[in-house]
Structure 1
């Protein structure tokens, strides 16, 4: 009989997490977005974590959750204001283990608990299917400039009901 995979857990962001979260951010972009973005686009995008002090201020200024496997951070997500997912990144080694779903579900519940009627996200092209599967609907296509490179994403929205997303198991 096979050994069960460890289940991811959540905890709040701590200032000491900044270096590992910056590494997760860069590793996820470099390893998971190559089918949708050029190397120059990936480098421009990843550069947001090169200044760890500024990256840390961004994380600290939002409601940021850390996903762990066996007490080691493997992903993170942040809620900007009451209704916008600003960041959701999972280390490539942890993809497919429920980390992104756990993070997203937690942000949906927190947003609902803060009174949000809906949650939005500007999803990268490689994350579109993940959000569609969770019930998000594409609202508009965007192009943003990051360090001189144009990056496309899609603003998506999910309606929240009674502090949770429709269909969430309780």
Structure 2
């Protein structure tokens, strides 16, 4: 008899999550982006989490959701303003198991409930297929500098379905 995977759950970000989320951020970059970015690019990108105080402030300043399995964080996503997915990272041990999709679903629903008509994301090269499968359309290619390294990403956008169904106009 096969054992089923424990079900992931969502909860809001707490400041005490910062060290664990920084570790997830670094592990995701180091283990999941090697086909698209050089080692120097990965190191520069991952170094963003070296200053945990600044990293925690960034997460606290956005609508950040944590995915947990058996109460342990395994991924996180942050909505900047009402219309931009700023971060979406999952630990490599749960990559491809629906954790990222669950986080993205939640951000899309929250954004739609806030009246947002479309959602954008600056998707890394390794994440662009994930977003494309979810209905995001590439708008433009970007080059960004992180810690003196140039990294490419793609701004993608998705038109959100109106969460309100039926009833009188609002």
Q: TM-score range by the shorter chain?
A: over 0.9
The offset of 1:97, in angstroms, is 1.4
TM-score, length-scaled by structure 1: 0.95
Cα deviation, 1:91-149, whole Å, max 9, x if unaligned, reads: 00011211000000000000001110000000000001100110100000000011110
Q: How does 1:30-69 map to 2 (within 5 A)?
A: 30-69=30-69
The offset of 1:161, in angstroms, is 1.5
Please say if residues 62 and 79 of structure 1, whose CA atoms lie closer than 8 Å, have aligned partners that are also in contact: yes
The offset of 1:2, in angstroms, is 1.0
For residues 96 and 160 of structure 2, the distance between their equivalents in structure 1, rounded to whole angstroms, comes to: 25
Any idea what SS the aligned residue of 1:101 has? helix
Partner of 1:168: none
Any idea what SS the aligned residue of 1:3 has? coil
2:116 matches 1:116 = yes
TM-score, length-scaled by structure 2: 0.95
Structure 1 residue runs of 5 or longer lacking an equivalent are 165-170
Partner of 1:158: 158
2:39 matches 1:15 = no
For residues 108 and 117 of structure 2, the distance between their equivalents in structure 1, rounded to whole angstroms, comes to: 10
For residues 92 and 61 of structure 1, the distance between their equivalents in structure 2, rounded to whole angstroms, comes to: 25
List, as ranges, runs of 4+ consecutive aligned residues in structure 1 with deviation greater than 3 Å. Answer: none
Any idea what SS the aligned residue of 1:126 has? coil
Partner of 1:98: 98
The offset of 1:3, in angstroms, is 1.3
Structure 2 residue runs of 5 or longer lacking an equivalent are 165-170
Cα deviation, 1:40-88, whole Å, max 9, x if unaligned, reads: 0001101110000000000000000000011110000000000000000
Please say if residues 112 and 163 of structure 1, whose CA atoms lie closer than 8 Å, have aligned partners that are also in contact: yes
Any idea what SS the aligned residue of 1:142 has? strand
